[in-house]
Amino acid sequence: MKRCLIVDDSSVIRKIAKRILASSDMHVIEAADGHEALAHCAADLPDIIVVDYGLPDIDTIELIRRIAAMPAPKRPQILICAIEFDVGLIMRAKRAGAQGYILKPFDRNQLLASFREMSAAA
């Protein structure tokens, strides 16, 4: 079973994502901010991380860099979650280590399609 970390300061977004992903045979853990996400990753690096672009405590690009720099036999796939399409943001996130993006609000089909695309690219 794959493990996924949802990092978002919105409990609603975390809850929706968790419901969608848990029904697709995925173990989902949550973090409300970047520091909590780093603690989860340091303890047990997940397979996939969905991270909100607007975290309250740490710049998302910096968070992605720090996660990508963690020693691990296999790097997690990182998906940023943004409220608008911003090519510059997406390119900075990809240079930092993200593999893709999804726009809010997302639905079940969009989130699962993003996960399928990441699995196909892995």
In tens digits, what is the pLDDT along the chain, a chain of 122 residues?
899 999 999 999 999 999 999 877 899 999 999 999 999 999 999 999 999 999 999 999 999 999 999 998 889 999 999 999 999 999 999 999 999 999 999 999 999 999 888 775 55
- In this prediction, residue 20 carries a pLDDT of 93
Q: Which domains are present in the chain?
A: 2-121 (3.40.50.2300)
- In this prediction, residue 58 carries a pLDDT of 97
**Do residues 9 and 33 touch, judged by C-beta distance below 8 A?**
yes
Quick one: 28 exposed, middle or buried, by C-beta within 10 A (0-12, 13-18, 19+)? buried
Quick one: 65 exposed, middle or buried, by C-beta within 10 A (0-12, 13-18, 19+)? middle
Q: Which two tokens stand for residue 59?
A: 């710049």
- In this prediction, residue 120 carries a pLDDT of 55
Reading across the β-sheet that carries 2-7, which strands appear in turn? Answer: 26-31, 2-7, 48-52, 77-82, 100-103
